[in-house]
Structure 1
Amino acid sequence: MIDVKGKWCLVTGGCRGVGRLIAIEMAKLGANLILQGRDKSHAEKVIAELAPYGVQVKAVGCNLENEAEIEAALAEIDSFGVQVDLVFNNAGLMSHYFSDYTTNTMDDFRQAMAVNFFAPIKIAYHFLPGMIKRGFGRMQLTTSGIANEPELAAYACAKAALTKFVKDFACKLNGTDVMMNVMDPGWLRTDLGGPNAPNAPETVVPGALVSVLLDDKKSGRWFSAQDYVGKSVADAVEAGRNVFA
């Protein structure tokens, strides 16, 4: 398990839901945080929550549907003059539910792809070169196990594309200390998952941290956060060594 104390960690969607929970757990481990939200002011409450852990916290705001805003946020992060070693590409958007699953609109596909695929891979391409040059980095992209629901085809297809993106990088990253994997949080009672989901948001930890804390130099894997419910962080990371694909 890597030591993240003093390392800078970017969490997209870090102002609420799963992102907030990840930020809190990483702060407990001593990581400094950069929180991305739709509006920078949304981070204020989380920043106050992180204060007791004595870590540094910064925030950026951008609409992940807007490429220019993403570029501005990334430029702002660069201006901080810090080395981002850990990235949780967590933010996502649920598409509309089409009861008549043959009527899914192209606008819905475009929005789902913009937030759930184009935004995270743009962020990945921004930070991966530096990680590769330095010989160290962790990148986790949040996927979904959603299947057999054409009513939510836009969301499902965007997440499938994201998983493919990560898996195809494994041939380049395996054996190096730059690791990129995907994490499925499970169906959670969040703003994205809705009130009928079977799992409480808190069940996402420690599983949501495993792929970033591992030190086994393996990429392209799928980690299911619900597999680690009830474990300590250290035990979850040790169990994660058994995930091969």
Structure 2
Amino acid sequence: MKVDLSGKVVIVTGGSKGIGKGIATVFAKQGAHVVIAARGLEHATKLATELQMQGYSASGAAVDVESYESVKNMAQEVASKYGAIDILCSNAGIFPSVKLEDMSTDQWDHVLNVNARGTMFAVKACVPYLKNADYGRVIITSSITGPVTGYAGWTHYAASKAAQLGFMRTAALELAHYNITVNAVLPGNIATEGLDGLGEEYLQKMAKAIPFGGLGSVEDIAYAALFLSSKEAGFITGQSIIIDGGQTLPEDAEAF
């Protein structure tokens, strides 16, 4: 897929690893200057350097999406240094597992703060600059878990991902008159380093649940986000795209 993002400035929160890393890499390869924003500046800078060595334009930035001041300052610095913010990929998220009966209010709040409130902070901080773009784009990384499915141990995660879509729809209404679209990608089971700690048995179980017979790649998500970021997708807003290899389709897990 070829989308010309030459001259566009893109922020990817949670961009140093996993799906965010895939998004940052694909967008950089389409000519954008990609700001890899992550809690760990070292990891963000490392990826930016790797992309620079391949001839692409990228930089790292430190951000804590739980803090509006941190996100606001990051957006201001990006806009000041590069002259614009054209696309925001609000991707930062966490998915610790804990059963509902064992969950503390702090554990609940932490996941909701990073995933849902962090999305609001990122969008709010970038809106003043997206308004000045030829066409602004916001892409939110949600999940099938919460909006479509459930998974034991992730009540807080599921709630946060469903909340992102409620936020998306109304934000899309409010920002439409600025020529800013707001959409979401909903990944299924994607092969990332974040799954490494869940064990081989879990990975095999997840792969078996997918009609295509294996986990998706970060590039699968990145190219969907790329389309939604394109000029050609300018009449699409408030929508979500499921990228799951058919995982959510079967009524019967043995049907395929």
Residue of structure 2 in register with 1:241 after alignment:
none
In the TM superposition, what is the alpha-carbon distance from 1:185 to its structure 2 partner? 2.0
Cα displacement string for residues 130-185 of structure 1 (whole angstroms, at most 9, x for unaligned residues): 32344521110111111333531111111111110001233344576321101112
CA contact 2:3–2:227 (8 Å) conserved in 1: no
Residue of structure 1 in register with 2:236 after alignment:
218
Residue of structure 2 in register with 1:206 after alignment:
223
5+ long unaligned stretches in structure 2:
208-214, 247-256
SS in 2 for 1:188: coil
- Relative distance call for 1:92 and 1:212 in structure 2 (3 A) is same
SS in 2 for 1:125: helix
- Distance, in Å, in 1 between the alignment partners of 2:67 and 2:130 is 25
SS in 2 for 1:10: strand
Residue of structure 1 in register with 2:101 after alignment:
102
- Candidates 179, 184, 188, aligned match of 1:177: 179
- Relative distance call for 1:185 and 1:208 in structure 2 (3 A) is farther
The one-letter amino acid of 2:77's match is: E
- Relative distance call for 1:169 and 1:70 in structure 2 (3 A) is closer
Q: CA RMSD in A?
A: 2.5
CA contact 2:31–2:57 (8 Å) conserved in 1: no
Cα displacement string for residues 108-138 of structure 1 (whole angstroms, at most 9, x for unaligned residues): 1110111101112111011123323445211
1:155 aligns with 2:157: yes
Q: Please, which moves more after superposition, 110-119 or 78-87?
A: 78-87
CA contact 2:28–2:58 (8 Å) conserved in 1: no
- Match runs of 1:66-145 below 5 Å: 66-98=67-99, 101-134=100-133, 136-145=135-144
- Distance, in Å, in 2 between the alignment partners of 1:81 and 1:7 is 9
Q: Please, which moves more after superposition, 195-204 or 103-112?
A: 195-204
Residue of structure 1 in register with 2:57 after alignment:
56
Q: What is the aligned-residue identity percentage? A: 23
- Relative distance call for 1:35 and 1:44 in structure 2 (3 A) is same
CA contact 1:7–1:86 (8 Å) conserved in 2: yes
- Distance, in Å, in 1 between the alignment partners of 2:127 and 2:72 is 15
SS in 2 for 1:5: coil
- Relative distance call for 1:112 and 1:134 in structure 2 (3 A) is same
Cα displacement string for residues 200-232 of structure 1 (whole angstroms, at most 9, x for unaligned residues): 43443422322112433221000123469xxxx
- Relative distance call for 1:59 and 1:7 in structure 2 (3 A) is same
- Relative distance call for 1:190 and 1:164 in structure 2 (3 A) is same
- Distance, in Å, in 2 between the alignment partners of 1:149 and 1:117 is 18
Provide TM-score, normalisation by structure 2.
0.78
- Relative distance call for 1:57 and 1:133 in structure 2 (3 A) is closer
The one-letter amino acid of 1:155's match is: Y
- Distance, in Å, in 2 between the alignment partners of 1:97 and 1:173 is 36
CA contact 1:169–1:219 (8 Å) conserved in 2: no
In the TM superposition, what is the alpha-carbon distance from 1:46 to its structure 2 partner? 1.3
Provide TM-score, normalisation by structure 1.
0.81
